[in-house]
Every structure is written in C-alpha cells, then in structure tokens.
Structure 1
C-alpha cells in the first residue's frame, strides 16, 4: 500500500467533510483511543488522523467566527451591515 497516496486521499476526504462530519469522526477516534484496545501502530495512525480532523474543525470555527465578527450592530441592536475584520470595533 502507498501510504503517501493514502494520506493524500484522507486529507481530501477531510476537506470534503462538513464541520459536523469532521467533529463526529474526531469523536469516534477519541473513543477508540480512550478504550485502549487499539494496537500501537493503529493508535498512532488514529492520532494523526485525529489531529488533521481537529485542525480542519478549528479552521472552520475560525472562519465562522471571522464572519460573525464582521457583523456590525446599530444602536437598536439590529445588524446594519458589515465591517472589515481588521477594522476598529
């Protein structure tokens, strides 16, 4: 088996996942690792995939937060538009 190709396929698969799918996959990996009945080599592979899933989830959360922070509220609390992310708050 070509591990480099497998790694590229896994990365593409993670990129295609929704946030919810990636989070669920990460939770499943954590459960497997916490059970402690996985062989060492498989544990390492699971950990590596889990780290990739965690990074993908964090990136999506950061992007979502950036979008939310761009909303500018008026005096009445209602959104009145957007502002650049790096603008004054």
Structure 2
C-alpha cells in the first residue's frame, strides 16, 4: 500500500479485508505473512489514533467541568 495518510475508517476497512483474506486460508504463506504484518501495523496505527482521541475527549470534558464549576464571572 502507498505511504499516504489514511483515515481511521480506511485503515479499519483494510484490517477487515485482510482478516477476511487470512481467514479464507487460500493464500500462499509469503502473502499471508505480508498481509498479517500489514494488519498488525494498521492495528497499531488505529490504536494510537484511538488513544489520541481519548485524550482529546477526556481533556475537553475536564475543561468543560472546570468551567462549569467556576463561580459566575470567574474563569477556571
């Protein structure tokens, strides 16, 4: 695959494609290994992106909480 930046959804779809191919069992060993490696790489990238999203959401939630707890006219 090209080294272009893929969206999370595109990577996830490719993981599904790879899974289906590997589960089919009709691949030569070398091709299966390459697909497996690609799947592992994509899985790590998706995991990293999910972790980044979690941090962003958590931070936004904490900021929202601290702003709502501040007294009127005060900034958190």
TM exceeds 0.5? yes
Structure with the larger RCO, 1 or 2 (CA within 8 Å, 6+ apart): 2
Where is the strand percentage greater, Structure 1 or Structure 2?
1
User: In angstroms, what is the RMSD of aligned CA positions?
Assistant: 1.9
Partner of 1:29: 18
Helix, strand or coil for the counterpart of 2:26?
A: coil
How many residues are paired up? Answer: 66
Identify unmatched segments of 5+ residues in structure 2: 69-76
Structure (1 or 2) with the larger CA radius of gyration: 2
Where is the helix percentage greater, Structure 1 or Structure 2?
2
Distance (whole Å) between structure 1 residues aligned to residue 33 and residue 27 of structure 2 = 10
Identify unmatched segments of 5+ residues in structure 1: 1-8, 82-89
